[in-house]
Structure 1
Amino acid sequence: MSDEWGVRLKAYEGRPAAVAGVGKDPVNAPMIRHWCEAMGDTSPAYEGPDAVAPPTMLQVWTMAGLGHTGQTGHTGETGRTGRTEAYDELLALLDEAGCTSVVATDCEQEYLRPLYPGDEVTFDAVIESVSERKTTKLGTGYFVTTRMDVRVGAELAGTHRFRILKYKPAHQKPKSRRPRPVVNRDNAGFWDGVAQHRLLIQRCTGCGTLRHPWLPGCNACGCPDWDTVEASGEGSVYSYVVMHHPPFPAFTPSDHAADAAGPYAVGLIELAEGVRIVSNVIGVPYDKVRIGMPVQLEFHSYDDELVLPVFRAREAVS
């Protein structure tokens, strides 16, 4: 890539990325409920006759949904996203420059007006900036930032800035070690427990509420003090997805389905204690995993340093 690409890309700054987009659904109680259940948010502000939508759902109301067939235009079903030819041209130009891979890097949101069930959302977006050429561990490419203005009628409800990196992948020697979890001061106790083959759940000493993942304070009463209880290891599959990805050198085939090169199941496991944890479901083929399936905690050592909790289907427990 040469500086010529940067000049051509910069020319797209200020051009529209979406025009007259229309939310596929109005703000509605079922989607709010599903969001709150998935996030574990029990705030009373999000239910009842005076409910508002969680502010962090701002982008949700602008999404086109799965299976949509059109991206551009301004009328009809294919035009509901309002996506412009200028944005498509920018992405095509980046592809031409060899930046064929993409990763979302971050987003920023500003909330100006509550959204209520029944509100019809419209939106416009602009290509706010295209960075100079950057070299990252992933590869060399450009950061593209779009700013979306979300409205109800003529009233601005919020703004959503979304940043992606379009890059040419670096040619790196594959690492043999499995990726490490991010350990910080808030979750170090959890990983210390895992290293000892103990699954520890935080418990608020103020109200007794159990919580996972680990947090610096209680999301029920706000108390910063806590202790832990050890999970029994029994649970069931609350929900799951099947992951499909190309073979990755750090993952080697074994009895553990999460290590296999092919598809594997990632479950949201509801523990007997009432909290939920994301982990792999092992011991049965991925297409045999079912919601409600009983599972049992196991700890698997991947190398001299890394131990992870996984859950084996009880029908596969000997």
Structure 2
Amino acid sequence: MADGEERDGDGQGIARRLKAYEGLPAVVSGTGKDPVNAPMIRHWCEATGDTNPAYTGPDAIAPPTMLQVWTMGGLSGHTGPTGRSSAYDELLALLDESGCTSVVATDCEQEYHRPLRPGDEITFDAVIESVSDRKTTRLGAGYFVTTRMDVRVGPDLVGTHRFRILKYAPAARREKRPPRPRPVVNRDNAGFWEGVREGRLLIQRCTACGTLRHPWLPGCNTCGHLGWDTVEASGTGTVHSYVVMHHPPFPAFAPPYAVGLVELTEGVRMVSNVVGVPYDEVRIGMPVRLEFREYEEELVLPVFRAEETAGQRSREAAV
């Protein structure tokens, strides 16, 4: 029997039954809870640090990456007919019955046809675009389900959002701690990870306006120019903000540990572990210095070691 053709209690192929849902609606005649609006655009830009002037002023547009935001139901959910279709609920129920009771979002793709502007009222429909054959992953065996959502303003298609999840049966727990997840390397950030392997922290710089940016992007979020080069970070910075991870634990990590948003001397910020001090002694404003750690074979990651401060030296001297 081929992989993906395991049978359920009725003797029917699970994979064949799942494939029957391809092309069926996932959402029909959905409507945005709110029109496109300036406050939500402002919150998004503040959260992402995006200062592009196109998103402010009387002729503002919404950042294209907000496409899915306008379709979300928030904590209270959508009311009325808007919501998941019975076909999508049936598909998820069938996956649950087959033992694939866990779910994780894997990736999304977006296409933009025209900008959204404050006042636009969006509608959306979604379809179950594909259900994969049974796949075995580190998390467990299961199926990738891809939905395609078409977003419209009136009759005009303004964007398409593809969202993929993995519904899987969790793999048996191992006593040995699993390896750390590897970073996702693509054509937009490959240069950054090449630099890390060489022990260099490279920051992108726009060749038109000189703005530095991190994480790496295909274009400048200040002027939109696509040309760029790099500068090497000095390796110094301060903790701009941080969190201490306690729960839920991830098998590859041993909580509690501190994850910091570090502001580099060059002005950009990046997220990484803060090491060299107990997790409960990390503080905003703490000076840190870059170092590269090899965690496993062929896995080198940039982390930030807390530097000794005058206050620490005073306390140690008093002791």
**Is TM > 0.5 for Structure 1 vs Structure 2?**
yes
Cα distance, 1:177 vs. partner? 4.1
Q: SS in structure 1 opposite 2:89?
A: helix
Name which of 209, 230, 237 aligns with 1:234.
Answer: 237
Alignment of 1:141-180 (within 5 A): 141-171=142-172, 173=174, 174=176, 176-180=178-182
Establish whether residue 15 from structure 1 lines up as the match of residue 24 from structure 2.
Answer: yes
> Identity, % of aligned pairs?
61
Measured in 2, the distance between the counterparts of 1:139 and 1:206 equals 46
Aligned to 1:273: 266
Distance verdict in 2 for CA 1:122–1:227, change over 3 Å: closer
Q: Counterparts in 2 of 1:20-169, with a 5 A limit? A: 20-65=29-74, 67-68=75-76, 74-75=79-80, 81-169=82-170
1:308 to 283, 302, 310: 302
1:17–1:146 contact (8 Å) kept in structure 2 = yes
Q: What SS does structure 1 have at the residue aligned with 2:99?
A: coil
Consecutive unaligned residues in structure 1, runs of 5 or more: 252-259
Q: Structure 2: how far apart are the matches of 1:28 and 1:266? A: 33
Task: Describe the superposition over 1:58-80 as per-residue Cα deviations: whole angstroms up to 9, x where unpaired.
Answer: 11111122x33x57xx52xxx6x
- TM-score, with normalisation over the residues of structure 1? 0.75
Check conservation: 1:186, 1:216, Cα contact below 8 A. no
Q: Distance in 2 between matches of 1:152 and 1:289?
A: 47
CA deviations 1:88-140 (Å, max 9, x no partner) are: 22111101101112222332323233211122222222223323333344432
| Shift in CA distance, 185/89, structure 1 to aligned 2, threshold 3 Å | closer
Shift of 1:275: 0.6
SS at match of 2:129: strand
**Moved >6 Å (runs of 4+):** 313-316
Partner Cα separation in structure 2 for residue 90 and residue 46 of structure 1: 39
- Cα separation, 2, equivalents of 1:217 and 1:22: 32
Gap change, CA 1:285 and 1:155, over 3 Å in 2: same
Structure 1 residue 51, shift from structure 2 partner: 0.9
Where in structure 2 are the equivalents of 1:203-214 lying within 5 Å? 203=205, 207-214=209-216
| Residue 246, structure 1, aligned to residue 249, structure 2 | yes
8 Å contact from structure 2 (residues 235, 290) kept in 1:
no
Matches within 5 A, 1:192-211: 192=197, 195=199, 199-203=201-205, 207-211=209-213
Distance in 2 (CA, whole Å) between partners of 1:33 and 1:93 is 41
Give the superposition deviation at 1:311: 5.3
What residue in structure 2 maps to residue 257 of structure 1? none
Aligned partner of 1:6 in structure 2 is: 15
- The letter of the residue matching 2:213 is R
Change over 3 Å in CA distance of 1:312–1:245 after alignment to 2: farther
Return the match for 2:288 from 284, 291, 296. 296
Q: How far apart in 1 are the matches of 2:134 and 2:202?
A: 45
Paired position in structure 1 for 2:316: none
The aligned length equals 295
CA distance in 2, matches of 1:277, 1:140: 34
Q: For 1:13, what is the secondary structure of its paired residue?
A: coil
Q: Counterpart of 2:255?
A: 261
Does the 8 A contact of 2:152 with 2:159 survive in 1?
A: yes
| Mapped partners of 2:216, 2:132: distance in 1 | 36
Q: What TM-score, normalized by structure 2, do the two folds share?
A: 0.75
